[in-house]
Amino acid sequence: MKDKFYLIGYSLVFIGVALFIVKSTESVSIYYIDYITIIIGIGIILVASLIYGKEKNILCRAGWHRFEHVGMDDEIKFALIYKCKRCGRTKRVVRSSGGGLG
């Protein structure tokens, strides 16, 4: 069920963007339906995140983590480790150029 909510939400956002592009060519007059479908799609994605999210903090459930840099990875030279202040989720980010770190 969770995957269906995300599929519907992302599909509505995609359709809204496609309608926006079609509307920008001025060949079709579709008023505000593109904005409405994008907003409804984002709303469905946020509601699904809030319902099916595993994190305790409601902002982290919606995907708005507050990451802070905690260190460098030992295995990969240009990988940085970040940890969320609220829920404790960690992620590893690999820089493409290393940013001058040596």
Range of the domain at 21: 2-52
The DSSP 8-state label assigned to residue 30 in this structure reads -
pLDDT at 42: 95
Task: Identify the residue with better confidence: 37 or 99.
Answer: 37
59 part of a folded domain: no
Residue 43 and residue 69 in one domain: no
In total, how many domains does the chain have? 2
**Rounded (10°) CA dihedral 11, 14, 19, 22:** -140
How does residue 102 score in pLDDT terms, banded at 50, 70 and 90?
very low
102 part of a folded domain: no
pTM for this predicted structure? 0.61
Confirm if 24 and 32 have CB atoms less than 8 A apart.
no
Residue 71 and residue 35 in one domain: no
Residue 19 and residue 47 in one domain: yes
Residue 20 and residue 46 in one domain: yes
Residue 43 and residue 75 in one domain: no
